[in-house]
Amino acid sequence: MTEENKNAQSLTEPTKALLTKNNIGEFFVADVTGDKDADSYKLKVKYKNADSNEEKSTFEGFIKKTALAEDTPKENICVRLIAVEEDQYEFVLNDTVISYHTFMFPFLYATDKMTRKEFGSRCHPGWRLDLWEPERMNDQLDYNQYHYFNETAHNAIYTTKSAGNGKKRQSDENFENAAVINLRFDLSSLITEDRADDHDKKKADSFEYVIRKYNDRKPGEKLTVKFEYALDIHAIRMKLYNTGVGILIFELENSKYPTEKNVIRINDFGRRIYAPYYAYYNESMHCSICANEIFFNVNGKHIGDADLLPERLRASAEETVLAEPIRILLSNGDYTITTKNTYGKNDTRIETALDDRMFVACYYKNGDFVDAMREWDGENYRYLTHAKENVPFDNRENANAAHRLYTMMYADGDGLCCHSRSMMQKLLSDDHIYTRWLEYGWNSGNEKCFYGSITGFSEYTMITVAKDPPDHLIAAFLTQYVEMATLVLAQRTSLLSFEYMISEYAHGRSYNVEDIHKRYILFQSQILLNEVTSQQQGLELYDLLKQNLMIEKEQSEIKEQIEGLFEHRNYVHDKKENRILFWLSLLSIAEATDIVTNLFIPENGAWIPSVVKGGIMLALAAFIGISYKHRK
């Protein structure tokens, strides 16, 4: 270490108190300053307020030359503190993921009875069938995931060679009988240009999901970026269910933005797929809760038109302009995705299921957050006490734990959206906050607890914050728990699809009662499952997901509506049959009168055909009456 590195910038007392050996392993943002010396680079480390994301102070540290690759950017890099000695702070480049973000976009694709095969053919050609092959069981992660779920859940989660009728399938076109068809996107299909030279060809391809927000501006002012997040794309998947619904899944990783505020913003602004409103009082058509741009960045190149908030409205009130990544993935050169009710033959119409937001499943590593949440005051966790007392949110060291937990679990990226003590207590109750592992390894005499986690559930989120989690727990969340959330989201969206079918039937279009009822019975047996695992924690989480996505309530209402359809159909049939019976009765009376007249006043055997006709009429009336009785 050089003499220059030893003369570190003097720090404020709060920063000195923060930066101790207890903070080894924490993340910071830094710029590389000055030239390299014999063995290290200087760093200008930014200590930011986690709540406001504003710089609180800066100080100098160092990173060894061997720990920083030559092509590493020199600004806003994420570093991790590994040693504190005599006010000298040694860092390494962060090579671990800080948070995982899974965005799920549920939609209805069969709004005009489009089949899964036809819908898939209209999407980007980069989609590939994702079969659950027997050889995948050699992978520990897949093995654990597969055996976590019961056999009934397998059919609702995976696409196997035996899906459908139990016979081997050889191509995706033969999977129409499967409960779900799984697709995985080939990210390399997004690469539009060849590498420029041999040096570029040696680099690994980079695929990023970028969220960008601009500052407010008046007409004529320069556009400036308020914040931008570039998340690594781990995978993009899609599930198409036999109920006419699909779920597009973005699996993203954050290794650059460590603070709570950043993670909350990623969850909130990254999930919004269209502008929910335009502020009519603002000339720039500002929407404070929506990113200006969401786009793919492939090998440093931006793909397509990213604007979520264009300077001028480019859509009518009838159409929702979806975020660019969705438009790319669900369209191809011949067909374009649309949400309009009136569309052309080259449009593929879908309906969104969760307004302007995708569902978010997030796993965030933050030990300080977990330690703050598990503080116990003798009767409740501190966050519940703060919810009752409405403690001010004044600074990080004395933050309102209730506000801090609420903004994290409900992804309030633009500020706290609940200012009621009674509602805050309800929304942080056991119906929404899962604390089974919050005090794991806790010892009242040992403040440096080695693990703990807390999970929050809402209609739009499943978010876990954990302290020093081992890899197998992260993997369980990203596979088993995310699959459970996806299944419950498919249940909710499928119930909405039945609501759509019932509405179409009520308006005399497309569907009939028998078809709706048949689809619903199939949905109940294949997708609307009471349980998916025998594991106790899995049962608890699955119940919380169903409760927060209001599955039982929606199911009860749809069931009543379908029963109402049958009652209406029977009423219509009854009216028709009663009308027929009425006229048959009149004819029978007329024929009976004719028979009696001919019997008592015979005239050359004319009574014989009258008796025959009357008998036929009476038999027909009796047959209709008996059929009606059996149908009821």
Residues 308-356 have pLDDT tens digits of 655 445 555 556 778 889 999 999 888 888 877 666 778 888 888 888 8
* CB 335 within 8 Å of CB 327: no
State mean pLDDT over 428-447. Answer: 80
Most confident of 101-105, 142-146, 219-223: 101-105
CATH among 1.10.3470, 2.40.50, 1.10.357, 2.30.30 for 3-93: 2.40.50
Please tell me what DSSP assigns to residue 357: B
Strand, coil or helix: 193: coil
Residue 170 CA: distances (Å) to CA of 174, 175, 377, 394, 506? 7, 9, 61, 62, 40
φ/ψ (deg, to 5) at 182: -95, 135
Higher pLDDT, 76 or 402: 402
**Of the ranges 140-154, 190-204, 408-422, 544-558, which one carries the lowest mean pLDDT score?**
190-204
This prediction's pTM:
0.80
pLDDT at 74 over 50: yes
Domain boundaries, the chain: 3-93, 99-195+203-361+473-549, 366-469, 567-631
CB contact set of 345 (below 8 Å; sequence gap of 6+): none
Residue with tokens 């308020």: 226
Confidence band, pLDDT 50/70/90 cuts, at residue 4? very low
Please tell me what DSSP assigns to residue 479: I
Q: Which amino acid is at 563?
A: E
The predicted pLDDT at position 203 comes to: 60
**Of the ranges 11-25, 94-108, 123-137, 287-301, which one carries the lowest mean pLDDT score?**
11-25
Higher pLDDT, 309 or 545: 545
State mean pLDDT over 408-426. Answer: 88
Cβ atoms within 10 Å of 49's Cβ, excluding its own: 14
The CA-to-CA distance between both ends of the chain, in Å, stands at 91
pLDDT at 238 over 90: yes
* CB 353 within 8 Å of CB 273: no
Tokens describing residue 321: 């302009």
Cα separation, 39 vs 37, whole angstroms = 6
**Type and span of the H or E element at 230:** strand 225-241
Strand, coil or helix: 629: helix
Please say whether the dihedral angle defined by the alpha carbons of residues 143, 145, 147 and 150, taken in this order, is positive or negative. Answer: negative
Helix, strand, coil shares of the chain, percent, nearest 5, are 40, 20, 40
Strand, coil or helix: 383: helix
Q: How does the average pLDDT of the chain come out, rounded? A: 79
Higher pLDDT, 441 or 126: 126
Higher pLDDT, 54 or 286: 286
Q: Give the HSE-up count for residue 198: Cα atoms under 13 Å, Cβ half-sphere.
A: 0
Question: What are the pLDDT digits (tens) for 113-138?
Answer: 788 889 999 999 999 999 887 666 66
Cα separation, 466 vs 229, whole angstroms = 22
State mean pLDDT over 288-312. Answer: 77
**Of the ranges 181-185, 352-356, 445-449, 533-537, which one carries the lowest mean pLDDT score?**
445-449
φ/ψ (deg, to 5) at 438: -65, -35
Confidence band, pLDDT 50/70/90 cuts, at residue 428? very high
* CB 93 within 8 Å of CB 485: no
State mean pLDDT over 289-301. Answer: 88
Question: What are the pLDDT digits (tens) for 582-632?
Answer: 666 666 665 556 655 555 555 555 555 655 655 666 666 666 555 555 454
Tokens describing residue 447: 């403040």
Strand, coil or helix: 372: helix
Cα separation, 609 vs 244, whole angstroms = 58
Cα separation, 606 vs 595, whole angstroms = 9
Instruction: Burial-class residue 304 by CB neighbours within 10 Å (0-12, 13-18, 19+).
Output: exposed
**Which region holds residue 383: left if phi is over 0, alpha if psi is between -120 and 50, else beta?**
alpha
Most confident of 267-281, 428-442, 523-537: 523-537
pLDDT at 465 over 80: yes
* CB 439 within 8 Å of CB 447: no
Cα separation, 304 vs 496, whole angstroms = 32
Q: Give percent of the chain above pLDDT 70.
A: 69
**Of the ranges 116-120, 297-301, 344-348, 358-362, which one carries the lowest mean pLDDT score?**
344-348
* CB 229 within 8 Å of CB 270: yes
Question: What are the pLDDT digits (tens) for 477-501?
Answer: 999 999 999 999 999 999 998 988 8
Q: Tell me which residue of 256, 220, 285, 291 sits closest to 99, measured CA to CA.
A: 256
* CB 239 within 8 Å of CB 246: yes
Confidence band, pLDDT 50/70/90 cuts, at residue 567? low
Tokens describing residue 603: 């005239």
Reported in sequence order, the residue ranges of 404-476 that DSSP labels E, i.e. its strands, are 433-434, 452-457, 461-467
The predicted pLDDT at position 426 comes to: 94
Q: Tell me which residue of 291, 282, 348, 340 sits closest to 118, measured CA to CA.
A: 348
Higher pLDDT, 384 or 562: 384
CA torsion, ordered 475, 478, 479, 485, to nearest 10 deg: 150
Q: 518-547: b or e for each residue (b if 16 or more CB lie within 10 Å)?
A: ebbeebeebbbbeebbeeeebeebbebbbe
Cα separation, 533 vs 326, whole angstroms = 32
Confidence band, pLDDT 50/70/90 cuts, at residue 91? confident
Question: What are the pLDDT digits (tens) for 181-208?
Answer: 999 999 999 987 654 444 455 566 889 9
The predicted pLDDT at position 166 comes to: 42
The predicted pLDDT at position 297 comes to: 92
CA torsion, ordered 289, 542, 552, 493, to nearest 10 deg: 50
